[in-house]
Amino acid sequence: MPFIITPILERMETLYLQPRDRARFETYLQLLQGNSKGEELILPIMGYNPMGKEHVLEKIRVLMDSETEFITHRVIQEMNDMYPLFPDEEIQVVINLADDIGGAWTQHNTTDFKSKFELNPLVNRQFCAPYFWTNETITETIIRNRTKEYLLRYIHWIQQGPPTTLMDYFKMEQFAFSHSYLENPIGFKEEEALLFLHTYEEATSYDIIFNFFYGDEASELMGQASYGMGTSAGILLAQHSDLS
């Protein structure tokens, strides 16, 4: 089941060059779903805000100028060589750009969670959708690491099945960062995050799992329960802990 890059950035540039009106939205739906209705996907471009403003077009052009799809293609080749584990069906890898500047369409943390952990609709249709953000600086290192992360989550999902408990989610996120080098964060309270993980490792509640990965501030913003976790504590623990 080799991963393959399905180029989308030029098509999205063309979309965002259209006037920001109903016709643009309908064009987006045609790209997303074709002539089907409901939840059927033709292309996994659900991260894009079809009514995004000029800054979205500008970031698409940054991604193009940074050769994002070429770099992604090279990473895919590396990962296919490292994980030749699947049957012969192809998995389409499609770059997504989520707008965390432009307001109501995209809430960063909930969208990030969904893109990483709610993969069943994509896996069922043999899609993988790495997310980039309008509010981040694009570098080759970010492109390479982000691509690896999303491919590895897909591989983990296939090998281990969908996560259900907090520990399942954590192990998948650990695996996603297993090929990335990241510096240790300053001020990260690892012991507190580990205590939370082991206290709630069998938990299946969305509120607990979300709070572990994104912290109290993100939970409270969404009107959810908070449990004393620092910002992105679970994500940082997955990136830097060698917990087996």
| SS3 labels along 86-145 | CCCCCEEECCEEECCCCCCCCCHHHHHHHHHHCCHHHHHCCEECCEEECCCCCCHHHHHH
**What pLDDT, on the 0 to 100 scale, is given for residue 89?**
78
More confident residue, 242 or 244: 242
**What pLDDT, on the 0 to 100 scale, is given for residue 141?**
94
What does the pLDDT average to over 1-18? Answer: 94
**What pLDDT, on the 0 to 100 scale, is given for residue 1?**
59
Mean pLDDT of the residues in the chain: 91
Predicted TM-score (pTM) of the model is 0.92
The candidate with the shortest Cα–Cα distance to 99, out of 91, 90, 108, 110, is: 108
Secondary element (H or E) of residue 13: helix 9-17
* Residue 235 structure tokens: 């994500």
Using 50, 70 and 90 to split pLDDT, how confident is the model at 190? confident
| Distance (Å, whole) CA 152 – CA 171 | 11
| Distance (Å, whole) CA 100 – CA 108 | 6
Residue linked to tokens 């607990």: 208
Give residue limits of the domains in the chain: 3-162, 165-244
φ, ψ (nearest 5 deg) of residue 226: -115, 150
Please determine, for residue 8, whether its predicted confidence score (pLDDT) is greater than 70. yes
What does the pLDDT average to over 2-29? Answer: 96
| Distance (Å, whole) CA 148 – CA 92 | 14
Using 50, 70 and 90 to split pLDDT, how confident is the model at 102? low
CA distances from 195 to 13, 14, 46, 124, 244 (A): 46, 49, 35, 35, 15
Using 50, 70 and 90 to split pLDDT, how confident is the model at 187? low
Query: How many Cα atoms within 13 Å fall on the side-chain side of residue 172?
Result: 26
Bridge partner residues of 93 (DSSP)? 5, 128
**What pLDDT, on the 0 to 100 scale, is given for residue 39?**
64
The candidate with the shortest Cα–Cα distance to 76, out of 94, 54, 59, 88, is: 94
CA distances from 91 to 44, 128, 158, 192, 203 (A): 11, 7, 12, 38, 31
What does the pLDDT average to over 14-43? Answer: 89
Please determine, for residue 146, whether its predicted confidence score (pLDDT) is greater than 70. yes
What does the pLDDT average to over 139-160? Answer: 95
CA angle 100, 143, 237 (to 5 degrees): 75
**What pLDDT, on the 0 to 100 scale, is given for residue 184?**
59
pLDDT tens-digit readout, 192-233: 999 999 999 999 999 999 999 999 999 999 999 999 999 999
What does the pLDDT average to over 55-59? Answer: 96
**What pLDDT, on the 0 to 100 scale, is given for residue 244?**
55
